[in-house]
């Protein structure tokens, strides 16, 4: 399948699912967290697919890679906040496991996309195209 839009990227789709899960989860937090941890988690979760989309819309691979890096930072941020919220007993262990599975999958996809972009943006190695010759 050809990628025509950022919406076609599986990592963007997974990021949107994570953001939706966080927005569904955080209203159950204590009210005093409305402008604290709840808000921070929502911002970090939204940042992941937003940076993927913005990077995809940029003119260069170098810029796309920069936005992938920002998304990876936001992913680390949301993972930390998920663990903290669980330690504060804001949700059950089963929810923690589901969320960390989502973040783990997104991390693997981001690293894969990053690797692919780097590999495809490198100039060709002239020595890799040389024919093999047998020495006598």
The string of pLDDT tens digits covering residues 9-44 is 999 999 999 999 999 999 999 999 999 999 999 999
pLDDT digits (tens, 9 = 90+) for 76-114: 999 999 999 999 999 999 999 999 999 999 999 999 999
Tokens of 52: 């993927």
Higher pLDDT, 89 or 125: 89
Residue pointed to by tokens 């949301």: 78
pLDDT at position 2 is 76
Q: Are 116 and 28 in contact (CB under 8 A)?
A: no
Residue 74's Cβ-count burial label (10 Å; 0-12, 13-18, 19+) is: buried
Please tell me the CATH superfamily of domain 6-121, with its number. 23S rRNA-intervening sequence (1.20.1440.60)
Instruction: Report the residue count for the chain.
Output: 136
Residue pointed to by tokens 């998304």: 71
DSSP code, position 131:
P
Q: Where are the alpha helices (DSSP H) in 26-60?
A: 37-57
Mean pLDDT of 117-135: 64
């Amino acid at each position: 399948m050809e990628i025509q839009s950022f919406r076609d990227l599986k990592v963007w789709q997974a990021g949107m699912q994570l953001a939706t899960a966080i927005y569904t989860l955080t209203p159950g937090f204590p009210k005093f967290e409305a402008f604290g941890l709840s808000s921070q988690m929502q911002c970090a979760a939204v940042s992941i697919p937003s940076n993927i989309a913005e990077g995809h819309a940029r003119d260069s691979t170098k810029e796309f890679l920069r936005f992938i890096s920002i998304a990876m930072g936001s992913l680390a941020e949301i993972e930390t906040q998920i663990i903290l919220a669980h330690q504060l007993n804001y949700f059950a262990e089963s929810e923690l496991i589901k969320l960390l599975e989502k973040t783990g999958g997104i991390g693997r996809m981001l690293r894969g996309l990053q690797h692919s972009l780097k590999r495809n943006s490198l100039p060709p190695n002239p020595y890799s195209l040389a024919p093999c010759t047998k020495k006598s």
